[in-house]
Amino acid sequence: MDFEIPEETQMVVDTVRRFVTEKVQPLEMATEEAAIIPADALARVKAEAQALGLYALNMPEAVGGGGLSTVDMCLVEEQLGQTSDALIRRVFGQVYPMLMACDAAQTERYLKPTVRGDLITAMAITEPGAGSDAAAISTTATADGDDFLISGTKHFISDGDIADYVIVMALTDAEKRARGGITLFLVDRGTPGFKVARTQKMMGHRGYGHAELVFDNCRVPRSAILGELGEGFKLIMASVAAVRLAHIGARSVGMAQRVLELMREQANGRKQFGQPIGDFQMVQQMIADTAMDIFATRMMVLNTAWEIDQNRDVRAKVSMVKVFASEMLGRVADRGIQIFGGYGFTKELPLERIYRDSRVTRIYDGTSEVHRMLIARSVMKRGLSL
């Protein structure tokens, strides 16, 4: 097994690392304070990222993306994790891989402009009555001649407040549900019957919004269907593995590495009782545990990414990474604050933001409990095939 990172991948990783440190991290404080990314600075930095080819790196080259393998994307995501989710979305793009199911016309109208960074999209699955049990949605899309009428409410939708168009999951056959009765639709902002009802304030992720979206007999043409009629659930499930791995797994590694770096500086620099606090064994334990946590998660992420690149079925492994990485980040963020004492609790360091932002990684993209259930089911059926 070759663990060497190829030179060209390392160059991309180094470029992203420099870009994040020099151009993106300086925007964090202002974004946190105002809960909005400073517009001028964002336009400048996003244009620079695009010029360097760092936008939508996860998408295939054929549609204008970076064309990275899953392993390479995870190595890049570790670097993206060195800043906040809000900034990653806006500067480097948030393009959902399921958009690869666009037909020729949709590719020109939605996919390519999104990959270029001209359009913003959101994905609307969750509803007030259906979260973990996504197949229990009650939003319906009823055929009406050549059109469909969408009715229902979605909530917690990231970027739902500003998206130019939303990928909406709706029931087209209430009997079949996940087995052929759920369809994805591309719905433009401003379509009559579609409104952003309210934004929902969150404990973290300042700098981008989460919204409740209401569809009331919202008429869309048949050509708005993404993929095939009735195949929406399958399409989502087929594309979430790589997203979970990169956005939660690899990004958590990056965020934890940033925390460890701060912990290291503090342990070496801060003196109490006449000596660096890093001389105290209980402080050393925090550092050692954090280093082990990061190392273990990183290996899990990269191994699973490699298996995805070999087209292997890694659903249970992705669930393991999702749970382990998100819980690891929670532990690390907590230790980071602890090692800084009172200073860790202030808003002068990125630690308290990371502490708040990291909490949701155990909730979205499937809660820890649901993923544990999936892992257990898989192990009970097939054993632990690593």
Ligand X SMILES: Cc1cc2nc3c(=O)[nH]c(=O)nc-3n(C[C@H](O)[C@H](O)[C@H](O)COP(=O)(O)OP(=O)(O)OC[C@H]3O[C@@H](n4cnc5c(N)ncnc54)[C@H](O)[C@@H]3O)c2cc1C
What length does the chain have? 386
Residue 156 binds ligand X, judged by CB under 6 A: yes
Provide the minimum distance between the beta carbon of 170 and ligand X in the complex, in angstroms, as a whole number. 12
Q: Which is nearer to ligand X, 125 or 220 (CB)?
A: 125
- The 343-382 site mask, x for binding ligand X (CB under 6 A), equals -----------------x--xx--x-xx--x---------
List, in sequence order, the alpha helices (H) in 52-118: 70-80, 85-92, 104-106, 112-116
Q: Which is nearer to ligand X, 5 or 238 (CB)?
A: 238
Q: Which stretch binds ligand X (CB under 6 A): 154-162, 214-222, 273-281, 287-295?
A: 154-162
| Residue 119 per-residue DSSP state | -
Q: Which is nearer to ligand X, 45 or 122 (CB)?
A: 122
Residue 260, Cβ neighbours under 10 Å: how many? Answer: 20
Query: How big is the site for ligand X, counted in residues (CB under 6 A)?
Result: 20
Give the CA angle between residues 180, 364, 178 to the nearest 5°.
Answer: 10
Residues 14-33 contacting ligand X, CB under 6 A: none
Residues 224-263 contacting ligand X, CB under 6 A: none
- List, in order, residues 6 or more apart from 198 with CB less than 8 Å away: 211, 212
Q: Which is nearer to ligand X, 168 or 332 (CB)?
A: 168
Q: Which is nearer to ligand X, 196 or 370 (CB)?
A: 370
Q: What is the 3-state secondary structure (H, E, C) of 264-327?
A: HHHHHHCEECCEEHHHCHHHHHHHHHHHHHHHHHHHHHHHHHHHHHCCCCCHHHHHHHHHHHHH
Which two tokens mark 156?
Answer: 């917690």
Which two tokens mark 343?
Answer: 């200073």
- The 95-134 site mask, x for binding ligand X (CB under 6 A), equals ---------------------------xxxxx----xx--
Using Cβ positions, the residue closest to ligand X within the complex turns out to be 131
Could you say which of 90, 189, 206, 210 contacts ligand X (CB under 6 A)?
210
Residue 68 binds ligand X, judged by CB under 6 A: no
Contacts for 186-190: CB closer than 8 Å, 24+ residues apart: 186/102, 186/106, 186/110, 186/220, 186/224, 186/225, 186/226, 187/150, 187/215, 187/218, 187/220, 187/224, 188/164, 189/163, 189/164, 189/165
Q: Which is nearer to ligand X, 317 or 371 (CB)?
A: 371
Residues 132-151 contacting ligand X, CB under 6 A: 132
Residue 158 binds ligand X, judged by CB under 6 A: yes
> How far is it, in rounded angstroms, from Cα 39 to Cα 17?
23
Q: Which is nearer to ligand X, 191 or 367 (CB)?
A: 367
> How far is it, in rounded angstroms, from Cα 234 to Cα 170?
13
Q: Which is nearer to ligand X, 178 or 287 (CB)?
A: 178
List contacts with ligand X (CB under 6 A).
122-126, 131-132, 156-158, 202, 205, 210, 360, 363-364, 367, 369-370, 373
